[in-house]
Homo-oligomer: A and B are copies of this chain.
Amino acid sequence: MYVCGMKPTTIFSQEILRGTIKPMIIKLITDNGRMYGYQITQCVRELSGERIQITEGALYPALHKLVADGILRVEVETVGNRERKYYSIPKSGAKAAAAKLEETNESIGVLVKLFGLSLYGAE
């Protein structure tokens, strides 16, 4: 599980992340079925080895945009006494979500090539 309080120990370029937040959200929800906003930030934080902290100012507008675009659907639930907004991918958004991920994967592949890294399985 996620352990809080750890500080990033390695260098990381926040700027590279510009444009990756929405794809990341789609990726996580594709993999996990449904997630709520705060959970997404913690999940990304953990998966990135404490390197990426998605800020609220970026997260919530991104989620709202994805819902407006029909790629995500939202369901409100009250847990304890607190509100949670669970996001998932509706059938009607599955195709767009998959296309976005495909596009993102290819773009990362191009970056990998340009910077001289090697992507396992790439031609």
Contacts and interface: CB of A to CB of B under 8 A. Distances in A.
Interface of A: 10-20, 23-24, 27, 31, 44, 47-49, 51-52, 99, 101-121
Contact of A101 (B12, B104, B115): B115
A114 B47 contact: yes
A112 B105 CA distance: 8
B48 A114 contact: yes
Given A16-B104, A19-B13, A19-B18, A27 B114 contact: yes
A118 B15 CA distance: 22
Q: Do most interface residues of chain A lie in helix, strand or loop, or is the interface mixed?
A: helix
Given A16-B19, A120-B120, 11 more contacts: A13-B23, A13-B106, A17-B19, A24-B114, A31-B116, A47-B113, A104-B115, A112-B119, A117-B120, A119-B119, A119-B120
B117 A108 contact: yes
Contacts of A10: 106
Which of A14, A16, A19, A99 has the most C-beta atoms of chain B within 10 angstroms of its own C-beta?
Answer: A16
